[in-house]
Chain A
């Protein structure tokens, strides 16, 4: 159940192409982010003004947040985290505009991002510890290692599933609630739900980035 009229979908159909709505709207988010960063970095000044001011506040806050959560070693992974955060934030907030569909309300987009984080944690772990990364899966006592290994593997495989399903369920559920309210009473009733939607969008962005950071930080730190 999505918005009955999706403007980009309509445009694409007029051009006789056939893409899923999450693909076209992902392109739209990419376009927004590219134009925004181009407009910001076109004329960088020491004393920021306008767009640069806004972006600087956002990036600076995110950088402090990354350093607080992951420690000084985590600064190398700031680009990945910031990209994910910006993408999710813009696409979540896009759900509030009529005729737009958030790409994060589709499981494919979310699973792609969660898989990126999942693969990244293991690449980081092997890069940091080499063969010793296996110790992360062994648990504290060597005698229990075979048991712990299986449990840890299951736990690690559950990470991308829970990460993607959480974002998908929240955004898709919000979309459905909005559509049902719109069907029942199209006037003024959906507005409180849309205000809730702003909150949901911000919190889900926060949770996704925070969990991604915690997973990567878990691979960086020494095995206990």
Chain B
């Protein structure tokens, strides 16, 4: 049964680490975009579009972590195996 406790911990800590890096990355991207708009307000439309694509790209890393966490929690491939071992 300890296996499931570790699963929950892995999902939680993994999600935390994943969003930590993603947060820093997105913050850097937004910082540069805001600086660019402040220097040249005329280019704000183009900068916004480019920033959105970049943000979505960075965000997909956190989304991958989320998907893996969901797999660990709800669709763990080892669940049956572990339950069989426990039943023995």
Q: Footprint of B on A, CB under 8 Å?
A: 162, 165-166, 168-170, 172-173, 176, 203-204, 206-207, 210-211
Q: Which residues of A contact B43 (CB under 8 A)?
A: none
| One of B49, B52, B60, B70 near A166 (C-beta < 8 A) | B60
Shortest Cβ gap from A211 to chain B (Å): 8
Query: Does B82 belong to the interface (CB within 8 Å)?
Result: no
Extra contacts, 20 of them, besides A173-B66, A176-B70, A207-B52 (Cβ < 8 A), are A165-B63, A165-B64, A165-B67, A166-B56, A166-B59, A168-B67, A169-B63, A169-B64, A169-B66, A169-B67, A170-B59, A172-B70, A173-B63, A203-B52, A203-B56, A206-B52, A207-B53, A207-B56, A210-B52, A210-B53
B residues contacting A by CB (< 8 A) are 49, 52-53, 56, 59-60, 63-64, 66-67, 70
Contacts of B66 on A, CB cut-off 8 Å? 169, 173
CB proximity of A172 to chain B, nearest CB, Å: 7
Q: Tell me, in angstroms, the Cα distance from A162 to B64 when the chains sit together.
A: 9
B14 CB to nearest chain A CB (Å): 14
CA A216 – CA B4 in complex, angstroms?
44
Complex: A44 Cα to B39 Cα, angstroms: 46
Asked whether B52 lies within 8 Å of A165 as measured between CB atoms, the reply is no
Kindly provide the distance from the CB of B26 to the nearest chain A CB, expressed in whole angstroms. 13
Residue of B nearest to A68 (CB): B49
**Alpha-carbon distance between A176 and B70 when the two chains are bound, in angstroms:** 10
Given the complex, which residues of A lie within 8 Å of B53, measured CB to CB? 207, 210-211
Contacts of B60 in A (CB 8 A): 162, 165-166, 169
A173 to B56, CA, bound (A): 15
Residues of B close to A206: CB separation below 8 A? 52
Closest to A65 in B: B49
CA distance A203 to B49 in the complex (A): 11
Residue numbers in B under 8 Å from A162 (CB-CB)? 60
In whole angstroms, what is the CA distance A79 to B67 when docked? 31
